[in-house]
């Protein structure tokens, strides 16, 4: 059966919800989560009544905004690691791309960093993919990990610390810093220094194109 085409009303509702989520993400990135709902609706250019058609509270909106950011980042990682057979490289490429996200997409980065270590246990974004890739690499004999959850704590701390450092030190080379941290993580996970360096020297797909698009990230 053909899929149901959204009606004009459904499309308008979807646009309103998306506008509210974008406004909430911008406020999170600016650290202005205590603003009244009126200010959120003004930033989204929608009426107060429209807010309550979609969300009961600001907290519910902010949760949706973070989940949207995580889903966006997760979809990007999935697309940009398509076709890789080595789970160690999949993990490394995802981390290297995530590190570059902070400068290429600073607003999205700040939304994710705002919620800190809570993201380490999230069911969306980098965390479940990192866990999946680590477990796959262990099964393939590529990583040696005794406790996946402890490894995840270390990886989450490294990812968040790197993000904060890159925002606070704009003069620092984000690609070089990210690849150095990724190398250290790969060594922690059981690769030799030489192989970790070789994996982190491989070209990356560009963050601002699709995986099938042109260009590479430095």
pLDDT value of residue 208: 64
pLDDT value of residue 214: 29
pLDDT value of residue 107: 82
pLDDT digits (tens, 9 = 90+) for 151-195: 998 998 999 999 999 999 999 999 999 999 999 999 999 999 999
pLDDT value of residue 57: 94
CATH superfamily of 66-217: Tetracycline Repressor, domain 2 (1.10.357.10)
Nearest Cα neighbor of 43 from 10, 76, 21 is 21
Four-CA torsion 82, 208, 77, 138, nearest 10 degrees: 70
Burial class (CB in 10 A: 0-12, 13-18, 19+), 117: exposed
pLDDT averages per 10-residue partition of the chain, 218 residues: 70 93 90 92 93 93 87 84 93 94 86 74 77 95 95 92 95 97 98 98 77 38
Check if the beta carbon of residue 109 is closer than 8 Å to that of residue 152: no
Tokens 């590190």 map to which residue? 99
């Amino acid at each position: 059966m053909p899929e149901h085409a959204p009606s004009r009303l459904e499309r308008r509702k979807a646009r309103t919800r998306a506008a509210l989520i974008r406004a909430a993400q911008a406020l999170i990135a600016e650290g202005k989560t205590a603003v009244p709902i009126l200010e959120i609706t003004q930033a989204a250019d929608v009426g107060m009544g429209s807010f309550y058609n979609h969300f009961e509270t600001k907290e519910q909106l902010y949760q949706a905004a973070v989940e949207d950011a995580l889903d966006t980042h997760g979809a990007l990682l999935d697309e940009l690691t398509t076709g890789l057979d080595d789970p160690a490289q999949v993990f490394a490429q995802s981390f290297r791309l995530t590190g570059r996200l902070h400068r290429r997409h600073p607003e999205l980065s700040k939304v994710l960093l705002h919620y800190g270590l809570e993201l380490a246990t999230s069911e969306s974004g980098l965390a479940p993919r990192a866990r999946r890739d680590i477990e796959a690499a262990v099964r393939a004999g590529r990583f040696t990990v005794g406790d996946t959850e402890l490894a995840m704590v270390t990886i989450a701390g490294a990812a968040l610390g790197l993000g904060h450092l890159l925002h606070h030190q704009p003069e620092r080379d984000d690609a070089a810093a990210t690849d150095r941290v990724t190398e250290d993580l790969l060594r922690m996970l059981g690769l030799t220094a030489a192989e970790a360096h070789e994996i982190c020297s491989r070209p990356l797909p560009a963050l601002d194109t699709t995986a099938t698009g042109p260009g590479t990230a430095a």
